[in-house]
Amino acid sequence: MIIMILVVGLGNPGKKYQKNRHNVGFRAIDELRSSQHFASARVIDRLAKQKPKDFVLAEPQTFMNKSGQAVKSLIQFYKAKPENLWVVHDDIDLPLGEIKISKNRGSAGHKGVQSIIDALKTKDFNRVRIGICPKTGKSKNVEKFVLQNFTKQEEEILKESIPKTIDLLMSEINKVNKTQNYEV
């Protein structure tokens, strides 16, 4: 039996937001798409499909706060189960570059994640949380902070943490799927 795996990176569409802290989910998906895991992937409307069409990478072209609409459409279109959904996103509660995997937990104030929870009516999906909090601590204006670009020093940390994120993500997906006799 083929299990449909959806890996969705969260961010905001458009060149204006490309280097924003809120777009590390998109950046991770871009890196994953070009990694050895997806060397032969075709890019179609910012979705990549790996043979045998059992794995989909997506960057919703809705804005962050409306991510749930796009994710729900993907789940329905591919007839996937929420437990086979992996959402990659920024996390202001984690230090810059730290990576955590979680499942079945609340949004912790992340509006993109909350949008997905609301649309799917469940928290039973996997999350890959990439820390964006600088050493100086959280900004008081979180919404303004997440829409700012990373500094040059922060970009250097990301250059190391994004590939680690991909390795961790693929390792976790394979670990879960081996229990179902399936490997990506």
Among all residues, which ones are annotated catalytic? Answer: 22
Report the DSSP beta bridge partners of residue 58: 8, 47
Order the strands of the 126-133 sheet from edge to edge. Answer: 42-44, 47-50, 55-58, 5-9, 85-95, 126-133, 99-103
In angstroms, rounded to a whole number, what is the distance separating the alpha carbons of residues 138 and 142?
8
